[in-house]
Chains A and B, each alone.
Chain A
Amino acid sequence: MLDMIELLTQIVKKEMFFLKRYLITLISILALTGIIGTTLASPSNNGEKFVSGHSVTSSAKVLNANEAKEVFGNTELQLPSKLPTNFYQESIIYNEPTTILNENVRAKVDVEKFKEVTIRYRNTTDNTSWIDYTTKKMEIVIMDEDAKDILINGVHGQFKSIPEQGYIAYSWFKGGLSHFIIAKNTSNEKIIEFIESVK
């Protein structure tokens, strides 16, 4: 036992220089990165703080018609029964962003409300003419200052146009779902007919 302790002591003495350099270097690296990190995140003299980071990027998931109908469970997906002439249903995409929320938050929210389905209807004669129709359980609000309150499909909704770029947007909440449309290079009359056929 005494021999073992003596052997260990000799090994430690021998490796002391290694340990000394190792610990000094490790503590210096951690201290330096800690100081730099704290400085970057610290409030400036007037109390304002700058923090950098990286967003989380996800891709839209492409769905078929049957998959789209199942997204909202018992709530039926409402689709237009009338499309403008030469328009066809080109694609359906799905966005579910809740994975970015931590587990504690996800456990407390109704994740169904975050799901959204967007269907693109495109004009076969002009591929810059299309209607994007988004459905979501959560209420959608257009926040732009020039968005107008209107009556649409019998409920209060919103309207915004960007005429110089050829875009028109509508938003309304009916039947337990938000309906949000952005259309490009499509006449407002055709868009209204499309909206009125959504059931």
Chain B
Amino acid sequence: MLNFIKKEFRFKNLISYSCALVTAFLISVVMYSSNAFADLQGIFYPDSFPSTYEVINSGSNYSGLTYRYWRSESVQGNSNTPTTVYFSQVRTSSGTSSPSGAQFGVYKIVDLRDKRYLDWYAQSITTTKSVPTNYTANMGSLYSEMTVYADSYGIDGSQSNVRYDRIAYTNR
């Protein structure tokens, strides 16, 4: 067994394994950039299944403040190629800010109109909060957006530190 393992770690064999890894990586890069894994780019494709889309949001300001939080959106399309999507709930959790101070602003669901929720307004980025949104949005140009005041003074800070964390919903 040991001899077998030693054989496999010969230089020539290590080259085969390395080439395979590099090829797999390149294939992933091509598929990623061709939207095959577009979910990772902030774009989701809802269908008729009740789905929870969990996104990690992160950003920074020009002075070095960094923030990070999770946002999950529970949605369900009216079909597998939906024309409408029902948003039942939105939740934020596991937020951090370094240095402390970053705060949430307005949360929006934007389709034909800009629907604003003030439930998170001026709450610390560390806030864990679930809000029943109960809204049926039109597909077409649909996205959701959380405003973050990435400033140690939060909402009271500089407007230049405002950040927008967005995800889009579309059909394939």
Contacts and interface: CB of A to CB of B under 8 A. Distances in A.
Interface of A: 17-19, 21-23, 25-26, 29-30, 33, 37, 41, 43, 47-60, 62, 90-93, 95, 97-98, 100-102, 105, 108-109, 114, 116, 118, 120, 127-128, 130, 136, 138-144, 160, 162, 165, 167, 169, 171, 178, 180, 182, 184
Contact of B163 (A33, A58, A114, A167): A58
Interface of B: 12-13, 15-17, 19-21, 23-24, 27-28, 35, 37, 39-44, 49-59, 71, 106, 109-110, 112-119, 121-122, 133, 135, 140-141, 143, 145-146, 155-156, 158-168, 170
B113 A141 contact: yes
A41 B164 CA distance: 26
Given A49-B50, A55-B166, A167 B122 contact: yes
Contacts of A101: 141, 143, 168, 170
Contacts of B50: 47-49
B118 A118 contact: no
Nearest to B155: A184
B140 A138 contact: no
B54 A95 contact: no
A54 B56 contact: yes
Nearest to A99: B166
A21 B55 CA distance: 37
A102 B119 CA distance: 29
A141 B141 contact: no
Nearest to A91: B159
A144 B134 CA distance: 11
A26 B20 contact: yes
Contacts of B41: 53-54, 56
* Residue among B53, B110, B168 with max Cβ neighbours from chain A (10 Å): B168
A97 B166 contact: yes
Contact of A109 (B12, B51, B140, B160): B140
Given A48-B49, A59-B163, A143 B135 contact: yes
A95 B105 CA distance: 14
Contact of B13 (A21, A138, A141): A21
A50 B51 contact: yes
B114 A22 contact: no
25 contacts: A17-B16, A18-B16, A29-B20, A30-B27, A33-B28, A41-B39, A47-B49, A47-B50, A48-B50, A49-B52, A52-B53, A53-B56, A56-B166, A59-B162, A92-B159, A95-B164, A102-B35, A109-B141, A138-B110, A138-B113, A139-B113, A143-B109, A144-B118, A160-B118, A171-B116
